[in-house]
Amino acid sequence: MTGEELRAHFREVIPVEQLLRLAKDYGVIERERQLDVERFAIALLMTGGTHEGGRQYDVLRFYLESGARRVVRGAFYAWFNEPLERLLVDLLGRAIAAGQRQRKLLPGILRGVSDWRVFDSSTVKLPKELVAEYPGAGEYAAVKVHKEWSVGTGNLVAYTFSPAREHDSPFLVVDESRRGSGLLMDLGYASIARLADCERHDVRYVIRLKDNWKPTVNRLVRGLITREVTDGEDFDVLLDQEVLQLTGGTVDADVTIGRGNQRVRSRLVGVATPKGYCFFLTNLPRRTHGPKQVGEVYRVRWEIEIDFKVDKAGARLDEISARKGVSVRVLLLASLLNTTIARAIVQSEKLDIRRDRNRSGHATRAPLHPILVMRALAAVNGTIANLLLDDCPRLADWNSLSALLRHLGHDPNWRRRPSVLDTIQGLTAPPGRRRRATLGTSRNHAGNGPN
């Protein structure tokens, strides 16, 4: 991402020229008063990665350090209200839209769909005063952050907040709007009716086989067997009687799951792993995805788990001590804003790296790590605030900032431990030489030379 692109992205997500008007439209301010809207919005966003005090206190500290007029803490905390929540919903919507306008990166086994979407949720514990508004699964308060995440853009698509007591499944709806896309789901979203909806609306899916689902085999395509398997045999019985033998090879079969009127035809694949066999249900075609490729596609689902780690380690999603529901939601929105901006920077660099690969198809530089990018953003938050509030473009400074983010945010393990997604997307390179071994070799050559 060039300095000009970085500036344009920040100013699209935080439209400094429009913030005052937006604040008035949403009722954040009714008249000119002490609140400096521009500095307040930047403070909310840029303090996600700092870890010096409580979230709200850190926003206040950065707000004052940025040059805003002094305000007492109680009055400042009163600004965390419903109008501010509506403003942040707007800003996060802008950030999501900007991220989804980036080009999708879906090469290799990720092809064949408009995008792969991953669904999951993360629970954030809250002070006990909020237990009535946000009851947890036990006698405590907690909120769930539900996410829809794009594999193609590597970024947030949609979100919802709910009491932690509520189940994940109702928050995923498969309808005509998803036609041509793909879903990677964990068992929290397992439903035979949902798989039927995927078939009805031409949505590809990969999901782990649920323990209490009892598939019957219609046709065994791949697998080591001791006798012929006939249509309608119970898959679990075939395993229990060792008719289907799990000796390290893959399994691929057409199966039916469900009973009575709720029956779905699907494809079942089994892949050996160090922890035993994993079985998946999918409707990916065999001509494009063998069992191992299905397993690799499902492994990409782990990216949303990483994304929640980014939210927590980078944007302090789980460091919320606010005692009002609206204040909690404001801080959650600020965290998601922080992560979404960082993810767009990571995706932009991925696209550039893939474009600049060498003739062997290897990446010539490291991709960015989202947590490190967020830490880098926190380290230069004052610089970003000054650049955003300056009417002059100052492209040289934005270019320097972009280079610094690339230097501080690159993934140090990209050669030795690339992620599954980076590997599929072609963002890898052969392991480099160990520095110590290289130095030793140089000494040996020096010692063995002519006297």
What is the per-residue pLDDT across 247-276, written as a single tens digit (0 to 9) for each? Answer: 999 999 999 999 888 899 999 999 999 999
- Average pLDDT of span 4-21: 91
Give the pLDDT band (50/70/90) at residue 89. Answer: very high
pLDDT(450) > 80 = no
Q: For residues 283 and 57, give the distance between their C-alpha atoms in angstroms, rounded to a whole number.
A: 50
Element (H, E) at 77: helix 73-77
What letter represents residue 331's amino acid? L
* Helical ranges in 27-105 per DSSP H: 37-46, 55-65, 73-77, 82-100
What letter represents residue 194's amino acid? R
Looking from the CA of 81 toward its CB, the CA atoms found within 13 Å total 12
- Average pLDDT of span 374-389: 90
The more confidently predicted of residues 362 and 442 is 362
Give the pLDDT band (50/70/90) at residue 49. Answer: low
Residue 203 DSSP class? -
Instruction: Work out the mean pLDDT of the chain and round it to a whole number.
Output: 91
What's the token pair of residue 136?
A: 């947890």
State pTM to two decimals: 0.90
Q: Is 112 left (phi over 0), alpha (psi -120 to 50) or beta?
A: left
φ, ψ at 346 (rounded to 5°): -60, -45
Query: SS3 for 130?
Result: helix
Looking from the CA of 408 toward its CB, the CA atoms found within 13 Å total 18
pLDDT(436) > 60 = no
Cβ atoms 393, 7 nearer than 8 A: yes
User: Judging by DSSP bridges, how do beta strands 233-234 and 224-225 pair with one another?
Assistant: unpaired
**Interhelix angle 325-355/395-409, nearest 10 degrees:** 90
Give me the residues paired with residue 360 across strands: none
Give the pLDDT band (50/70/90) at residue 154. Answer: very high
